[in-house]
Amino acid sequence: MSIKDKLISFENEASRHCTVTMHDGRELYVENCRCIKECDDNFITLSVAGADIRVTGAPLTLESFGVNGVKISGKIHSLTLEEH
């Protein structure tokens, strides 16, 4: 397998997984987020591979959205996973 094939395989595999990390109920990191579907002060819905993650809290702030993922801060009350 060539290096190009390995990189394509790695990229395809990475896009099928997401990692969610929460710190102290006040910071949430989501890696491999595809898009932000909805955003409000009290909830944020993120699209990841095969599912949507709905974050509920007050007040929620979308700190960043980029190559490294999404960072959400605020008092996080709940996470809901809805599979497609």
pLDDT of residue 67: 76
> Residue 31 belongs to what H/E stretch?
strand 27-31
pLDDT of residue 11: 66
pLDDT of residue 58: 94
**6-19 pLDDT, tens per residue?**
767 666 665 668 89
Structural domains in the chain plus CATH codes: 3-83 (2.60.40.2000)
Token digits of residue 49:
């591979």
Higher pLDDT, 2 or 7: 2
Helix (H, G, I), strand (E, B), or coil: what is residue 2? coil
Query: Quick one: how far is CA 22 from the chain centroid?
Result: 11
Closest CA to 27 of 66, 64, 76, 79: 76
**32-71 pLDDT, tens per residue?**
888 999 999 999 999 998 899 999 999 999 999 987 789 9
pLDDT of residue 14: 57
Identify the bridge partners of residue 73 per DSSP, sorted by sequence position: 27, 61
